[in-house]
Amino acid sequence: MGTHLYLDLLVLAVFATTVANADINVVCANNSVRVTWRVNAELVPYAARLFLGNCMASQWKVLPSGEGEAQFNYTFSECKFTKMVKGKRIFYQNEMSYRPQTKPNPPDFVHPIECVYRRPKDWIPRFVNPGYGVSEGHGRLVFHMALLNEELSSIAKTNIIPLGSPMPIWAAVEQKSHQPLLLLMEECVAAPTAELRPSSQVYPIIGNKGCLLESKKENSMFLPRYHSSAIILYLQSFNFGFREVYIHCKLAVWDPQNFAESKKACHYIKGTNRWELLDDPSRSSLCNCCDLSCKSRSRRGVEWASDGQSHNSVLGPLIIVDQSDLRDSDTMMESATTADPQLK
């Protein structure tokens, strides 16, 4: 028995070395991937233990040299690919693995696979109805505001945010029989209540007609747009001074081609020590007023505002908690489970 165990370990060690030297070639197509994995002769009898995600090889052949070649031809909707959107790029990620033993045993070899694409201009995420947000109609326009998860792939499943972690806030307007519209966040403040009163304690986030004030203090910014009718405010959570936080924002729609000092989205770029216009950095001079006072513009902007083209949205409550509070909570839950077997 001891001899057999020793031989098994020796064989696994040899295979692990063999797989680690494997030749893997990846070709990313439009909506699929083709992976060719060439393995040494020692692994040919174990072709069924080679995987892309949870998928076995689409084709397998033994080469004249005695080596084996596995081909994996799959779309990104198969094999448990993960999709992640960052800025103007879309990432599809998975891993190749060699599993000499079945799950839950870990694989002996893992190799990451990634295909990166430029995000289409008309790409829109698969979320419209916010979970911890609002969806309200105003005339023929419907405004949305919600908290996203850290991957920016969907609405956040919780409103509890660890201190210092990202806090992406998404806002959008549905354009029903309208010309193309540009959505702007003219003003945003954090407050401890869902209703604002003259005496309310507030923390300014966006002010001065679309200037992201918080970007000068923390690692906060506007993310590149996926559509003119939506905007993502990427905040870094911090101690606002109150445990329950409500984000109040004045959203406004505007002509996408007609920026002005009073109709803009500006954030501060610390690397260049200057304000930058989100939608057209070449016109960032419109943001120079962010440190002073940005003047309101008459004409069309006033007409739109009077016709109900701006809207006040509220998001919350968001619970900002310290990491130590989360650890203490987990410890208390474990202690309670141990003390009371019925909780298991």
For residue 89, give the 3-state DSSP assignment: strand
pTM score, whole prediction: 0.58
pLDDT at 327 (0 to 100)? 52
* pLDDT tens figures, 158-168: 899 998 888 99
> Is it the case that residue 344 has pLDDT exceeding 50?
no
Average pLDDT over residues 29-40: 92
- Whether omega before 64 lies within 30 degrees of 0, making that bond cis, reads no
Q: Which residue has the higher pLDDT, 63 or 150?
A: 63
Q: For residue 238, what pLDDT is reported? A: 83
CATH class of 24-118: mainly beta
At 23, the amino acid letter reads D
The helix/strand/coil state of 137 is strand
pLDDT of residue 176: 62
For 257-261, what is the mean pLDDT?
Answer: 87
pLDDT band at 21 (very low <50, low <70, confident <90, very high): low
- 104: preceding bond cis by omega (within 30 degrees): yes
Q: Which of 78-82, 148-152, 205-209 has the lowest mean pLDDT?
A: 148-152
Indicate the average pLDDT of the chain.
Answer: 79
Confidence band of 7 (pLDDT split at 50, 70, 90): very low
Distance CA 283, CA 102 (A): 58
Considering only 7-16, 210-219, 220-229, which range has the smallest mean pLDDT?
Answer: 7-16
- For residues 312 and 303, give the distance between their C-alpha atoms in angstroms, rounded to a whole number: 17
Whether 24-118 and 132-294+309-325 share one fold: the answer is yes
Between residues 53 and 154, the one the model is more confident about: 53
pLDDT mean over 202-209: 94
**What digits encode the pLDDT tens for the residues 260-311?**
999 999 999 998 999 999 999 999 999 999 999 987 654 433 333 333 488 8
- Residue 253, CB-side half-sphere exposure with 13 Å CA sphere: 26
Neighbours of 284 (CB within 10 A): 17
What are the CB-based long-range contacts (under 8 Å, 24+) for 198-201?
A: 201/241, 201/242
As a whole number of angstroms, the distance between CA 210 and CA 186 comes to 4
pLDDT at 194 over 80: yes
Mean pLDDT calculated for residue range 316-329? 73
Cα separation, 192 vs 256, whole angstroms: 34
Please tell me which residue, 231 or 9, carries the higher pLDDT value.
231
In this prediction, residues 256-260 reach a mean pLDDT of 86
State the pLDDT at residue 22. Answer: 62
Give tens-digit pLDDT for 115-130: 999 877 656 565 544 4
- Do residues 84 and 90 touch, judged by C-beta distance below 8 A? yes
Residue 192 pLDDT = 92
SS3 192: coil
Residue 223 identity:
L
Of residues 74 and 175, more confidence is placed in 74
- Residue among 152, 158, 138 nearest 232 (CA): 152
CATH topology of domain 132-294+309-325: Immunoglobulin-like (2.60.40)
Domain boundaries, the chain: 24-118, 132-294+309-325
pLDDT for residue 184 is more than 90: yes
> Please, are residues 196 and 116 in contact by the beta-carbon 8 Å criterion?
no
Q: 1 versus 176: which is more confidently predicted? A: 176
The percentage of residues in the chain with a pLDDT greater than 90, rounded to a whole number, is 38
